[in-house]
Every structure is written in C-alpha cells, then in structure tokens.
Amino acid sequence: MPITFRGAYTAIVTPFSDDGSTVDFARLDEHIAFQARGGVTGIVPCGTTGESPTLSEAEQHAVIERAIAVGKPLGLQVVAGTGSNCTAHAVEMHRFAHKAGADASLQVSPYYNKPSQEGLYRHFMTVADACDLPIMLYNIPGRCGVAIAPETVARLARHPNIRAIKEATGSMDSASEIAQRCSITILSGDDSLTLSFAGCGSAGVVSVVSNLVPRRVQDLCDAFLGDRFEVAKRMHADLFKLCRGLLTLDVNPVPLKTAMKILGRDTGALRLPLVPPSKDATAKIVELLAEVGLARLEAMTLA
C-alpha cells in the first residue's frame, strides 16, 4: 500500500558523545523508543535538527540504518534526510535510503548554490527518477537561500514519487497556493504554525518540539485531522510558547538539546560550529519549561 503522510513526524536529534566525537547509538535507540511510546506517526533522522551538516557520510548512513532498524519494528515511518546541494550526491544518498529500507526520503532544496526554479525542478526530478522511493520535499529558504515556488511544487507533484512537502517557509500564502495548485501532501515545517497550516489543508507537521512532547504534538494533529478544531486550538495554545521559545532563543537544535539535558534526557554535545547557548538563554529555557508545565518526571514518560 502506498505510504500516506499524516500526523506528527519528529525531526529527531542526533545524540553525540559528551565530547561530540562520535554518535551515541544507545541514546539514539532510547530516543526513538520514546517517540514510539509517544505515538507519533514517524521520525525524520538526519535533518536540520539532527545536525546533518556535521555528520560524515559514514555517520549519516549509520544513523539512517539504525533509525530504520529500531523505528520500523516499533511502528514508526522513517523518512530519511538524504538531501544535498550536489545533485549526484543527493541521488546517491536517496538510493542508499531506498536500499536500507526507509519509507521515504526528505530532500532539501540545494543550499548555497541558489539555483533557479528550473534548476530546482531538474534537481528534484533527477532524484525522483533515481529509484522508486517516495520523496518529501523540504522547502526552507531561511536555511537554503532559495524557496521552491508553488508553481514549481505543482510541476514536481506530477512525478509519482514526489508525494509530500515539508513547508518551512513560514508563509500561509505559499502553503495555500500549493494546496490550490496540486494535491501534494503538505506538512508544516514550523511547530508554531501547525494549526494555522491545517487551515490551508495540511496533514500534519515535521516537528522539533515533539522531541520533548511527542504525545502532545500527535494529539494536536489528531484533533485537527478529526475536525475537532476547538480542541486543537486549546492544544495549540498550550504548546505555543514552547514552540516559539525553542526556535527563537538560539538556532535549532541548540535550545532543544539544552532543554532535553535539563529534563534528564541528555543527548550529548553539540557539534561545532554550533555551541551551547548563553547563560541568559539557558535560564530562559529553564523558565520556559517550567512555565509550560514540563518537569523531569514528565519528560521521562510520554510527555
């Protein structure tokens, strides 16, 4: 049966050793199991939150393979982050994810190159033609320097392997126009806009916050997907400060990894060029967690 993208997908952190030199696979296993207990639809290893730019290719292979080996038996979809600003490398990684058994791959826009819309189209079509693995496009101009325009998304959506888009433009207009132009599945790429994007017809979120509170994020998705918008509004209000705080106090995943450590779920070091937050930012993260009712005990259950 073809994969359906619907609900909460956690863009999981990559746990490292305390000195940042190696991936901590024991902590990765624990975190994936935590996500499964929280009831999310799937996980996305090796994305922005997973510090993918700092992973060697061997580490990226190993993290994806481990996520598949641990996550799929627990009922999680695994969408492997395999994008690149080099089309040939993106093809190679996409094929690797297919062979490893991923359910789909997350393909980010080529970064730094700043290609034209035609260049973006040819890049993604080349990857989609490489093997029969579903693709989730990743539209994040703030990181990549270029956005996939709605008309380009509509062109790409004609390919049977291009099935969804993580829309991290922060633009309701972009999401609305994509929904009007084609039937590609839209997932919010910003936690604070998950409910807003639902009004544009989105089917869920690729979430940072669900690293901490998987159950709450999945429940929010279930509420609006079930047309229980009054319930969803209350859930959104409860999560909003956490969503905004974790993505504004420092660059992602710095606040998230700091919060996880505070809550007793340490995922090791950040890798350079990312560094720990300032003392002031750390104090604000502590205050934020207390304000939204998160405590160490809750973080060690399903949150």
Active site residues: 138, 166
The kind and range of the H/E element at 31 are: helix 25-37
Q: How far apart are CA 202 and CA 191, in angstroms?
A: 13
Using CA atoms of 267, 271, 277, 279 in order, give the dihedral in degrees to the nearest 10.
80
Q: How far apart are CA 68 and CA 292, in angstroms?
A: 32
The dihedral through the CA atoms of 200, 112, 9, 192 has a sign that is negative
Q: Per this entry, what is the length of the chain?
A: 303
Residue 228 carries which side chain, given as an amino acid letter? R
Question: 179 by DSSP, 3-state: which?
Answer: helix
295 CB-near residues (< 8 Å, 6+ apart): 263, 289
The answer to whether 145 and 167 have CB atoms below 8 angstroms apart is no
Using CA atoms of 242, 244, 247, 250 in order, give the dihedral in degrees to the nearest 10.
-90
Nearest to 149 by CA among 120, 190, 123, 172: 120
The answer to whether 172 and 180 have CB atoms below 8 angstroms apart is no
- CB-CB neighbours of 137 under 10 Å: 28
Q: How far apart are CA 9 and CA 103, in angstroms?
A: 12
